[in-house]
Structure 1
Amino acid sequence: MSDPTPTYTSAPRHKGVRTVGLLSIIAGLVLIVAGAATWWVVTDQLAAQNITVSEDADWFGGDQVNGPLTAYSQAQIIDKHALEATGGKTYAELEQDDPLRETAMNASFLRASLFTSVVAYGVALFAAGMGLMWILMGWSLRKLTT
């Protein structure tokens, strides 16, 4: 009579799976480095502009714009100031010959630039987060084959 206890053997080594795991880890490291570099470049460029968040902003009043939260806060207060200056009208709502249209236009451009930096921070953080995920997936694949 045979022994009813099942026997388990370790998983065979699969060179292809280990290679994919290693490539995933390398890709993850590249994504983390790219995300960190992007974050640093955007921070450096924002700081070089010497922008200070307006004192009457809801958040970070008086702080230097050098990160996603201060950039967002300054963009919000620019909108508030522009709407106050134009009587609550946006660039598109002002008549073409209205001298306040240039004020609204400049405010819109400044806000768009600040929001672009906020988006760049988000993409950098996403890249770094995905890098971490790729490293964990690669590590898992390699562990499965040991």
Structure 2
Amino acid sequence: MSDSAPAGAAPATSNDRAVRVVGVIVAVLGAVFLVAGIVTYAVVSSTLADQNISVSDDAAHFAGKDVKGPFTAYAQADVINKHALEIGGGKTYAELPQDDPNRDTVMTASFLQASLFTSVVAFGVAAFVSVIGVVLMLLGWVLMRLARRPVPRTI
């Protein structure tokens, strides 16, 4: 009988050790995911903040706030779309004739809007990866606990 097994419990088996090893691996991967998600979120936020973008005063939400998070980025992308539609007479870049003098301005607005939406997606993916990291750490912890649980001996 092993020293760690209580009296009346079966000795640890190689299956117990394998479950413990898998638990440790899953928990470590979870920690890596959590850190990667947090770092990605911070980098995207910092990069947006470095651009010194403010949400337009006529935005539906967050007017005047600095764009450095998913909600302010979405609000600014939304107001850019509103402005581009006004400039294009209700038409998107693809709908404007090639000789329309506003086409370049609407195209630039479309690119800015797409870039802001890309950052919104990046924030979402970073948050998702962080949550998956927490779930994996919890799963690893449960596996390690289960591997240490004494199995009663049957007679």
What TM-score results when the alignment is normalised by the length of structure 2? 0.86
* Gap regions ≥5 residues in structure 1: 1-7
Which residue of 1 is the match for residue 26 of structure 2? 24
RMSD: 1.4
Output the CA distance in 2 between the equivalents of 1:143 and 1:11: 16
Output the CA distance in 1 between the equivalents of 2:11 and 2:122: 43
Which residue of 1 is the match for residue 118 of structure 2? 116
SS across alignment from 2:116 = helix
Superposed CA offset, 1:9-32 (max 9, x none): 569451111000000110000000
What TM-score results when the alignment is normalised by the length of structure 1? 0.91
SS across alignment from 1:65 = coil
Assess if the C-alpha contact under 8 Å between 1:11 and 1:145 holds in 2.
no
Which residue of 1 is the match for residue 35 of structure 2? 33
How many residues get paired? Answer: 139
Q: How many percent of aligned residue pairs carry the same amino acid? A: 54
Superposed CA offset, 1:36-65 (max 9, x none): 000110010000000000001000000000
Runs of 4 or more off by more than 2 Å in structure 1?
8-13
Q: State whether structure 2 residue 147 is matched by structure 1 residue 142.
A: no
Deviates more, 1:13-22 or 1:70-79: 13-22
Output the CA distance in 1 between the equivalents of 2:122 and 2:40: 8
Output the CA distance in 1 between the equivalents of 2:112 and 2:21: 47
* Gap regions ≥5 residues in structure 2: 1-7, 149-155
Which residue of 2 is the match for residue 5 of structure 1? none
